[in-house]
């Protein structure tokens, strides 16, 4: 009788610890995926290229150069035509602007959402799709580029 109780207790402890192992495995898989995403965003043509030491100075020069360019290049994104700075393209993976000459990406990003939010400037594509423009408006240089894109594409920050 005591032997059976001990076996049941041990089985119960074993089964309850399986959940801890499962959660630990899921947590590690999540961490690996996040690390992979950070690495992808920090590539030369990604929006996070400026945080990589070997790209930082070149990306800053590219931002200064893009700031002076007219907003006249038409690109297709999310079912609509957008205007972006001359001699740039959109990175198809991340939606950020990439200088065609150097290949460096800057942190001015377009992305698609299925809801309206007044936090970002946006353009309504259809009833359930919005193209949003994301950039750090506290960075003076990115703010100049962002404001030029907003004006050229008639983006708004209201949901009306």
Q: How far from 51 is each of 37, 55, 82, 89, 128, CA to CA, in Å? A: 14, 8, 27, 20, 34
pLDDT at 68: 93
Tell me the pTM. Answer: 0.76
Contacts of 60 (CB under 8 A, 6+ apart): 50
Tell me which residue has tokens 């070997």.
Answer: 54
Contacts of 103 (CB under 8 A, 6+ apart): 44, 45
Tell me which residue has tokens 């377009």.
Answer: 110
The pLDDT mean for the chain works out to: 87
Mean pLDDT score, 143-158: 91
Give the C-alpha separation, 121 to 146, whole Å: 10
Say yes or no to pLDDT of 63 above 70: yes
Give the C-alpha separation, 82 to 58, whole Å: 26
Give the C-alpha separation, 58 to 66, whole Å: 12
């Amino acid at each position: 009788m005591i032997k059976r109780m001990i076996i049941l207790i041990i089985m119960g402890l074993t089964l309850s610890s399986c959940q801890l192992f499962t959660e630990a495995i899921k947590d590690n898989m999540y961490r690996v995926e996040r690390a992979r995403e950070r690495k992808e965003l920090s590539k030369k043509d990604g929006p996070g290229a400026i945080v990589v030491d070997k790209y930082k100075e070149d990306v800053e020069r590219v931002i200064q150069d893009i700031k002076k360019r007219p907003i006249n290049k038409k690109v297709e994104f999310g079912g609509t035509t957008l205007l972006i700075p001359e001699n740039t393209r959109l990175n198809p993976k991340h939606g950020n602007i990439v200088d065609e000459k150097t290949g460096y990406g800057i942190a001015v990003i377009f992305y698609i959402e299925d809801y309206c939010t007044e936090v970002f400037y946006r353009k309504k594509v259809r009833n359930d799709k919005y193209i949003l423009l994301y950039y750090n408006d506290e960075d003076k240089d990115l703010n100049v580029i962002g404001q030029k894109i907003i004006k050229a594409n008639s983006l708004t920050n209201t949901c009306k």
